[in-house]
Amino acid sequence: MSEIIEILNERLFAVDHETLFDAFANPQKLVHWWGPNGFTNRIDAFDLRPGGDWRITMTASNGTDFDNHSTFEVVEPPHRIAFLHHGPIHVFRLDMAFKAEEAGTRLSWRMTSEATEQFVELQKFIAAANEQNFDRLEQFLGLS
């Protein structure tokens, strides 16, 4: 059995969990904030149900396109979404939990992957990129 790497990111957003969940579940909203700083997006498929495909092209600031393909595994509105990211570059699972709290909604991301050499090398970059994703989401929601 191979070793599994886990990357955890979480943040409290000052909105209700339905609003936060919808920022991901609605592709017309998701396209504006997904990914780390410097990326723009085009969503070509977004079938938010277990077994549904998600295809997004992320374009870096230098014009390089990254065609991403994922399959949704768990969809429990407005509490949880989990998907398997098939590529490019690295395969991982991302489990997103939306938990209502008194001050808003805590969004927790639990990313897991086999401890391949490539994923080990990217681990710190990915954790930082996830935080940039949260920053972009806060800006999209008008919270920062």
Is 1's pLDDT higher than 60?
no
More confident residue, 71 or 120: 71
Is 40's pLDDT higher than 90?
yes
Give per-residue pLDDT as tens, 48-70: 999 999 999 999 999 999 999 99
The predicted structure's pLDDT at residue 88: 67
Q: What band does 121 get if pLDDT is binned at 50, 70 and 90?
A: confident
- Structural domains in the chain plus CATH codes: 4-140 (3.30.530.20)
- For the chain, the average pLDDT equals 94
d(CA 60, CA 53) in angstroms, rounded, equals 22
Stretch 69-90: mean pLDDT: 93
d(CA 27, CA 72) in angstroms, rounded, equals 14
- Report, in angstroms and rounded to the nearest whole number, the Rg of the chain calculated over CA atoms: 15
Q: Is the dihedral of CA 42, 100, 136, 140 positive or negative?
A: positive
More confident residue, 89 or 35: 35
